[in-house]
């Protein structure tokens, strides 16, 4: 079953202005190599709240293809060697949602990424409340929303990752002041709020990919 990778990278704080372009070219090369390996598109997004954070969203034929075939491959090991001094991997996991259903779109250049964490026994209640109230969110979002469940679960917990398109951050913040949001916010009753986070991201414009003989 195809799955979507959701991972977050952070540029190391000590990088100077000469090293950052090297990191960007390396990430561009990683994108190209993963697309060649899988036959699927991959996208890199930059966080608006912290531009040093970069998200990879891409599709794999299965978790096994990613973890057992790509990760130990010569191409990936070369990438890791190239990028290890430039970038930290904050997390990497897979969600059960099609890449093609994930925003943004032409009318909404950014989207919010919500990592909704709950105790396992709260999942049915969350699903019921979300299904009941999602129309309140959809009424304000300029495009289709999309979400999926984390496949690699922490013991006793579930995580639902929600992608919502917006024209800008202010539009999202304005939603929080509406009556529709008051109803939609009932999902909070099921969440571990201290572990739940929402960030905003925009599609990155990447330079041409670094070639194997480029200096890293």
Residues 87, 116 within the same domain: no
Q: How many domains does the chain have?
A: 2
CA atoms within 13 A on the CB side of 208: 3
Distance CA 126, CA 139 (A): 20
Quick one: what percent of the chain has pLDDT higher than 90? 81
Last residue of a domain, one of 66, 98, 130: 98
pLDDT band with cut points at 50, 70 and 90 for residue 209: confident
Check whether residue 108 and residue 195 sit in a common domain.
yes
61-83 per-position pLDDT tens digit: 999 999 999 999 999 999 999 99
Q: Residue 114 belongs to what H/E stretch?
A: strand 110-119
Q: What is the pLDDT of residues 79-107, one digit of tens each?
A: 999 999 999 999 999 999 877 767 677 77
Instruction: Give the number of C-alpha atoms closer than 13 A to the C-alpha of residue 215, restricted to the C-beta side.
Output: 4
Residue 93 shares a structural domain with residue 108: no
Residue 191 φ then ψ, to 5°: -100, 155
What is this structure's pTM?
A: 0.91
Find the domain containing 142 and state its range.
103-199
Instruction: Confirm whether 216 is domain-assigned.
Output: no
Number of H helices, E strands in the chain: 6, 8
What is residue 207's predicted lDDT score, i.e. its pLDDT? 87
- If asked whether residues 121 and 94 sit together in one domain, one would say no
pLDDT in tens, 15-60: 887 888 899 999 999 999 999 999 998 999 999 999 999 999 999 9
121 and 78 part of one domain: no
CB 152 within 8 A of CB 96: no
Q: Is residue 92 part of a domain?
A: yes
Sheet containing strand 197-203, strands side by side: 87-95, 3-11, 53-60, 42-47, 197-203, 110-119, 157-166, 146-149
**In the predicted structure, residue 155 carries a pLDDT above the cut 50:** yes
**Token reading at 205:** 């414009």
What does the chain come to in residues? Answer: 216
Is residue 175 a part of any domain in this protein?
yes
Are 116 and 161 within one domain? yes
Find the CATH number of the domain harbouring 163.
3.30.70.100
């Amino acid at each position: 079953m195809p799955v979507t990778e959701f991972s977050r990278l952070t540029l190391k704080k000590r990088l100077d202005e000469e090293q950052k372009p090297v990191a960007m070219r390396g990430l561009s090369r990683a994108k190209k190599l993963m697309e060649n390996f899988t036959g699927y598109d991959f996208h890199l997004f930059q966080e608006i709240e912290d531009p040093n954070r970069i998200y990879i969203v891409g599709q794999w034929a299965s978790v096994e293809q990613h973890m057992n075939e790509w990760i130990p491959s010569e191409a990936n090991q070369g990438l890791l060697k190239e990028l290890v001094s430039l970038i930290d991997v904050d997390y990497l996991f897979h969600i059960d949602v099609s890449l093609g259903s994930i925003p943004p779109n032409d009318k909404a250049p950014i989207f919010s990424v919500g990592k909704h964490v709950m105790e396992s026994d709260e999942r049915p209640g969350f699903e019921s409340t979300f299904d009941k109230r999602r129309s309140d969110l959809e009424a304000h979002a300029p495009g289709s929303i999309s979400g999926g469940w984390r496949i690699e679960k922490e013991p006793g917990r579930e995580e639902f990752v929600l992608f919502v398109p917006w024209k800008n951050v202010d539009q999202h913040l304005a939603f929080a002041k509406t009556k529709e949001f008051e109803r939609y916010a009932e999902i909070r009753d099921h969440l571990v709020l201290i572990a739940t986070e929402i960030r905003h991201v925009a599609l990155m414009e990447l330079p041409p990919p670094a070639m194997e003989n480029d200096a890293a």
